[in-house]
A and B are shown apart, each in its own frame.
Chain A
Amino acid sequence: MGRFKLITKAISIGRVTEKYPFVPLEVPEGFRGKPVIDPEKCIGCTACSNACPPQALQVYDDLERGVRVVHLFIGRCIFCARCQDVCPTEAIKLTKEFELATLSDEDLHQIVELQMVRCEECGKPFDTFRHLLYTAKELQPWEREMMFLCPECRAKKVSEKLIFGKGGGYV
């Protein structure tokens, strides 16, 4: 007897299967889909690559060309949106796109290259222009004169100053 009720139930409900892929599927606001980096906003601070659990985002420096490469490989991505959380400039965002199947491996990579600053002393690239400008806002006036030095040269300069700056070499 129970089963007849279920038959009437089934008839009253009708078809529930979606017509996807012939009709596009709507996803709600806040859906975690394919991450996309906005190359205009990215400053190359490496916050995303530090937070990324599967190491889908990697940031490395190409010292010869003097560029910092932000490399996103969606093949490893788990769509957790941690990068979106930690990005200070909202450069990386998860979109609503979820149809990521592709025939070419290249479609799964997004590479953003950012010009780096060379150290005034040793000439080694040490930070991106944008990140330097971003952090410059927070610097104290007396720190700004050493802005264009790499961390090693800066440390050297600071100790030199401490030793010789106050006259006599004793601190």
Chain B
Amino acid sequence: MILEILKSNNAKILRHDEKVTVALVPNDKLRTTAELLFKAGCYYATGAGVDERLLGVGFSMYHIFNCEAEGRYIIIKAVASNLKIPSITPIISGTNWAEREVMDMLGIFFDEHPEPVRLILPDDWPEGVYPLRKDFRYNERPPRVEFEQKREKKPGVMEVPVGPYHPALHEPEMFELYVKGEEIVGAVYRGFHIHRGMEKLAEGRMTINQIPFLAERICGICGYTHNCAYVQAIEDAAKIEVPERALYIRTILLELERIHSHMLWLGVAFHLLGFESGFMHTWRIRETFMDLAELLTGNRKTYGMNLIGGVRRDIDENKKKGLSEILDKTKKEIREIFDNATQMRELINRMEGIGVLSKKKGREIGVVGPTARGSDIDTDVRRDHPYAAYGDLEFKVPIYKDGDVLSRFLVRYEEVLESIWLIEQALDQLPPGDILNEEYELPEHTICVGATEAPRGEDVHFAIMGEGNKVYRWHPRAPTYNNLPAVPIMLKGEKLADAPIIIASIDPCFSCTDHIVIVDGEKVYRYSLDNYLGGL
């Protein structure tokens, strides 16, 4: 079906195998192709611009769609003519950020883009300097330029800034909430305060087996899943056969990470709702999972377990025994805490019917993970695109229909229990054998994609192989990147007091999303203070 759509639009198929289809689409057909793909049930995962001048092509844009029905990723490539490509944002609103990012970083312009303003680069970045172009060195620092803050005030509306540090999640973000009385009438998100230039660093300086450790540092909570997604992308390109035992070990660690991440979120949610003892209990239980990670990998966080072709440490019988003992004990404890918590009316009342995201809107933005599953969107990378050992294991994907904060809360709670069940199965079926396959050859200029289900949703890594143990282009997309545009929609029409839990309900990971800006602490501070005083 997908092939027919592509062929009817004069697309040239560059790669077509079990998991990935890459097609070059002529610019005049780009919009119709995207529309047809979207109507066929594929949602927009991410987009990456590439400076392919060194490969003799010019600038190009890769739009990546996730086709769950066929279990494949569809990458449509468009080559810019005169630095211009038609925008597909008027058809799929989820493309908005991806296209603006490419505008900032590579200087490709999108015709008829409804909002062609800066997203990622700070205001004091000079015009016409594009950091992801190949002629920009990775350690170059352009001079700052002066700029004027343009602000307009709406009459009768008060502005309440949440940020630049989130009060509960301790991460930099900035929501401007416009309130009338207690009701939120509008919200604007300003992010990307902590761009770390990771893509440039990876392409400019690092070798293929060093990048997994950089990828792991995209996120401080769910780093291992980024590590896995990158490694899977390269393994997909080089067609490396990973030993089965390594795949099972990856699964165990991925699920361990999901449990501790969800437990962290559930604790923060309790804290935001004013249920402090629940917060303490949740984090006390979470601590045992952190200790388990330390036992298996040598560190509580940043496991550093993956290399291309397998994992670095084995799980021996002793560790296996310790792991299953602790799982048995904590499973009971988790049930105890949450079954009690969900019986408290005052807690449930603060989540029920709050921050609703409809299925249709969610699909248009392309929300992923528990945010999508709380809005009746049946999506899970583990099931739709089986990776690691998920194909052999049995698990349930919890779906809730209401689309409110409570649905997302319950999805995460059920997922914790599912994850424990998955680890138990994986430990039980752990096959014997090697854990690392180091005999492989790396291809050149192959387009590849790797995806994992991070605790927050689908995590996609797009890569183009380079020459001599390097990558030509690496573009990671954290799940929060897709979920954040949904927050202003959830906030509209709600009470101001509910804003913290609504913002937190997508389990935002701002630093992941921002992996790509240069911080200017002083400016952010001054900017928000002025606003604050102006608003009051």
Which A residues are within 8 Å of any B CB, using their own CB?
Answer: 1-3, 5-7, 9-10, 13, 16, 27-28, 30-32, 51-54, 78-82, 85, 94
Contact = CB atoms under 8 A, between A and B. Distances in A.
Contact of B213 (A3, A9, A13, A82): A82
Contacts of B337: 6, 9
A95 to B, nearest CB: 12
Interface residues of B, number: 28
B281 A31 contact: no
B33 to A, nearest CB: 39
Contact of A78 (B217, B280, B281, B341): B217
Contact of A51 (B209, B278, B280, B339): B209
B286 to A, nearest CB: 12
A30 B340 contact: no
A53 B281 contact: no
Contacts of A1: 343
A78 B340 CA distance: 41
A78 B299 CA distance: 11
A28 B299 CA distance: 9
Given A32-B304, A85-B312, A53 B277 contact: no
13 contacts: A2-B341, A2-B343, A2-B344, A5-B336, A6-B277, A6-B337, A6-B340, A27-B294, A32-B299, A51-B209, A51-B210, A53-B213, A85-B312
Interface in B302-349: 302, 304, 312-313, 336-337, 339-341, 343-344
Given A51-B210, A79-B299, A85-B312, A6 B304 contact: no
A3 B312 CA distance: 44
Contacts of B40: none
B206 A53 contact: yes
Interface of B: 206, 209-211, 213-214, 217, 277-278, 280-281, 284, 287, 294-295, 298-299, 302, 304, 312-313, 336-337, 339-341, 343-344
Contacts of A53: 206, 210-211, 213-214
Contact of A6 (B281, B287, B312): B281
Nearest to A3: B344
A5 B213 contact: no
B267 to A, nearest CB: 14
Contact of B294 (A31, A54, A78): A31
Contacts of B217: 78
B298 A31 contact: yes
Nearest to B278: A6
Given A51-B210, A53-B210, A9 B294 contact: no
A13 B340 contact: no
Nearest to A52: B210
Contact of B304 (A10, A16, A80): A80
A31 B295 CA distance: 8
A27 B298 CA distance: 9
Given A28-B295, A53-B210, A5 B340 contact: yes
B214 to A, nearest CB: 6
Nearest to A7: B277
A28 B277 CA distance: 30
A85 B471 CA distance: 23
Given A78-B213, A82-B213, A28 B294 contact: yes
Contacts of B281: 6, 9-10
A80 B344 CA distance: 44
Contacts of B278: 6
Nearest to B217: A78
A131 B217 CA distance: 34
B298 A2 contact: no
A53 B206 CA distance: 7
Contact of B284 (A3, A16, A51, A78): A16
A118 B278 CA distance: 69
A74 to B, nearest CB: 15
A33 B415 CA distance: 32
A142 B209 CA distance: 36
A13 B330 CA distance: 13
Nearest to B298: A32
Q: 6 closest A-B pairs (Cβ-Cβ)?
A: A2-B340, A53-B210, A32-B298, A53-B213, A2-B343, A80-B304
Contacts of B284: 13, 16
Contacts of A2: 339-341, 343-344
A78 B302 contact: yes
A30 B298 contact: yes
A30 B213 contact: no
A49 B115 CA distance: 46
Contact of B277 (A10, A16, A82, A85): A10
